[in-house]
């Protein structure tokens, strides 16, 4: 069993990633390692933030760890909310307010194309490695579904007519940005 710290405070991410990693890996949270401070993410890119979060945990524990930074990139909004996805509408993680603001900013826009992009920074034996996963899709006219989190009720992946929030965790992981990035991470860790 490989133990590795996942530098996140997001419980939804934790369960999605654990499901993809399977039983060979045990994920530890920052809290379980005695780190209760907020993990900073002040960089202007997903790559920068993933790296910052992983280094923050590595610097305090010296242990193998990884972090995920994810953004929803809407083509017609020049990539917004992007790196600001968590704090789009407020300075907290208010998913409903974020979704409302996104719909408001999309009013009258017919090009609804968007993608989710996840960047994972892994620090293994002191060296950093980056992995990326993407999924293309579009922004719905209104939210639907109660599964998942964040922008899932508004995101319809290409080839589907339902949102991520209308899919089981398994179905979402199969095609999602995070599922794809985590499978690259697993392949790397298994060598
Ligand atoms: P950590 O930094 O503690 O990992 P976070 O929630 O701040 O958690 P991110 O900065 O990576 O994570 O994510 C930014 C936001 O993007 C997040 O708050 C959600 O609103 C949204 N998001 C991320 N992954 C998502 C997913 O799989 N489905 C829908 N929305 C997602």
Q: State whether the beta carbon of 105 lies less than 6 angstroms from ligand 1.
A: no
Give dist(CA 15, CA 79) in Å, integer.
27
70 alpha carbon to ligand 1 midpoint, in Å? 6
162 DSSP assignment? S
Which among 8, 14, 86 is the best mutation to test ligand 1's pocket, defined by most ligand atoms within 8 Å of the CB?
86
CB neighbours of residue 23 within 10 Å: 7
pLDDT digits (tens, 9 = 90+) for 135-152: 999 999 999 999 999 999
Q: 39: how many CB neighbours lie within 10 A of its CB?
A: 16
pLDDT digit string (tens) for 55-105?
Answer: 999 999 999 999 999 999 999 999 999 999 999 999 888 999 999 999 999
Locate the ligand 1 atom nearest the alpha carbon of residue 49 and give its number.
Answer: 10
pLDDT at 92: 82
pTM: 0.97
Taking phi over 0 as left and psi of -120 to 50 as alpha, with beta for the rest, 129 belongs to: beta
Q: What is the pLDDT of residue 93?
A: 84
Q: Are residues 118 and 69 in contact, defined by beta-carbon separation less than 8 angstroms? A: yes
Encode pLDDT of 100-128 as tens digits.
999 999 999 999 999 999 999 999 999 99
Q: Taking a C-beta distance cutoff of 8 angstroms, is the pair 177, 116 a contact?
A: yes
């Amino acid at each position: 069993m490989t133990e590795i710290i996942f530098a996140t405070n997001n419980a939804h991410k934790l369960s999605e990633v654990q499901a993809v990693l399977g039983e060979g890996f045990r994920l530890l949270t920052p809290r379980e390692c005695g780190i209760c401070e907020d993990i900073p993410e002040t960089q202007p890119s997903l790559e920068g933030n993933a790296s910052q979060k992983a280094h923050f945990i590595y610097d305090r524990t010296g242990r193998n760890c990884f972090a995920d930074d994810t953004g929803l990139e809407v083509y017609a909004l020049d990539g917004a909310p992007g790196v600001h996805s968590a704090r789009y509408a407020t300075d907290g993680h208010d998913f409903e307010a974020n979704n409302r603001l996104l719909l408001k900013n999309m009013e009258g826009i017919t090009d609804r194309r968007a993608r989710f992009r996840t960047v994972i920074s892994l620090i293994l034996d002191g060296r950093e490695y980056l992995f990326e996963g993407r999924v293309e899709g579009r922004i719905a006219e209104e939210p639907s579904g109660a599964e998942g989190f964040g922008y899932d009720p508004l995101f319809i992946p290409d080839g589907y007519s339902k949102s991520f929030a209308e899919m089981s965790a398994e179905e979402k992981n199969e095609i999602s940005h995070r599922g794809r990035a985590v499978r690259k991470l697993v392949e790397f860790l298994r060598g």
